[in-house]
Amino acid sequence: MRGLRLLRRLVLLTLVTLACLLILFLGALPAALVGRFGPWRVRVMSWWSRLLVAVIGCEIEVVGVRPEGGFLLVSNHLSYVDIPVLASCLPCTFVSKAEVRSWPVLGLLSWLAGTIYIDRNRRSDVVRVGAEIERELEKGRRVVFFPEGTSTGGASVQPFRSSLLEPAAAHGIAVRYAVLRYEAHAGMPPASVSVAWWGDMDFAPHILQLLSSPGFRARVEFGEEAIVDADRKALAQRLHRSISERFQPMEQVLESTPAARREAAAS
């Protein structure tokens, strides 16, 4: 049963991805001629994300009012699944670590989606990425990033890095936020290992196990208020506090060693 489910989902994901790429390329020239290629690309990738989450058996519950217009939004970070989940709710551009660009399939898709990449090994790259974020916001577009800087198992929300919030602080831009949480279906290992991808987990075994699972639930809660602060560190702390107050820790494996996580995922 698990093998058939995995095969069916891989086939469907391939077909959905090829169809969306075809739509993207067919509309690229007309969109570019009217100066709308960026929004067109984001819109197509949002359609792809909606289909993707449906194919992999992800049920999304949205709490709160989705922000409209252009904005900067931050969220806690639990898994590679966060990106299609958020993109299915809001057409947007993501800021991601540079390593994603070299990932098989996902790297190509993230590049086609217009992802802004940041090299965390180069401190000077923060300035370049900050300028790109500022340009996107000036065009009235939506930019999303994960200020924890890494994905976690969902036990808590890690402290936020404030460097990419500099454009918002410097120009008085209000920052929105979302809170992500996952719940595994009955019979699955806890979402902290079956959906969340973190630490030293290997990507290929994790995604294959996820695709062969019965499915899972995602909860996306959008904060009511937009937060403004002229100090980027204070802004980061306020955003972290708002998300932490609404975040519900995910069920954890009792022993969080790599061996225990592999055993739980295989059960």
Does 93 fall in a domain?
A: yes
Q: Which residues constitute the domain of residue 109?
A: 58-266
Residue 100 lies in a domain: yes
Residue 260 has what pLDDT?
A: 45
Cα distances from 59 to residues 17, 47, 192, 266, in angstroms, run 19, 16, 17, 23
Lowest mean pLDDT among 1-15, 108-122, 137-151, 253-267: 253-267
* Token pair recorded at residue 87: 């993109």
Stretch 9-29: mean pLDDT: 94
The mean predicted confidence, pLDDT, of the chain is 89
**Pairwise CA distance, residues 146 & 143, whole Å:** 11
Query: Is residue 256 pLDDT above 90, yes or no?
Result: no
Domain total of the chain? 1
CA 250: distance to chain centroid? Answer: 17
Q: Of 118-122, 170-174, 245-249, 258-262, give the lowest mean pLDDT range.
A: 258-262
What's the confidence (pLDDT) of residue 261? 47
Look at residue 51 and tell me if it is in a domain: no
pLDDT of residue 264: 47
Q: Averaged over 241-253, what is the pLDDT?
A: 90
Query: Which one, of 172, 212, 174, 165, lies nearest residue 71 by Cα?
Result: 174
> CA 202 → CA 178, 193, 232, distances in Å?
27, 11, 34
Average pLDDT over residues 230-245: 97
Residue 219: C-alpha distances to residues 85, 172, 180 (Å): 9, 29, 6
Q: What is the pLDDT of residue 253?
A: 58
Helix segments in 99-188, DSSP class H: 106-112, 125-138, 166-170
CA distance 226 to 34: 32
Q: Considering the domain boundaries, does residue 41 fall inside one?
A: no
Q: Does any domain span residue 35?
A: no
Q: What is the pLDDT of residue 53?
A: 95
User: Is there a domain that residue 33 lies in?
Assistant: no
Q: Is residue 48 in some structural domain?
A: no
d(CA 186, CA 216) in angstroms, rounded, equals 9
pLDDT (tens digit per residue) in 137-191? 888 899 999 999 899 999 999 999 999 999 899 989 999 999 999 999 888 899 9
pLDDT digits (tens, 9 = 90+) for 67-109: 988 899 999 999 999 999 999 999 999 998 888 888 777 777 8
Per residue in 25-59, pLDDT (tens digit) is: 999 999 999 999 999 999 999 999 999 999 999 99
Distance, in Å, from the CA atom of 222 to the CA atom of 32, rounded to the nearest integer, reads 32
Specify the amino acid at residue 109: L
Give the residue among 176, 193, 196, 161 at the shortest CA–CA distance from 264.
193
Is residue 91 within 8 A of residue 41, CB to CB? The reply is no
In a domain, 52, yes or no: no
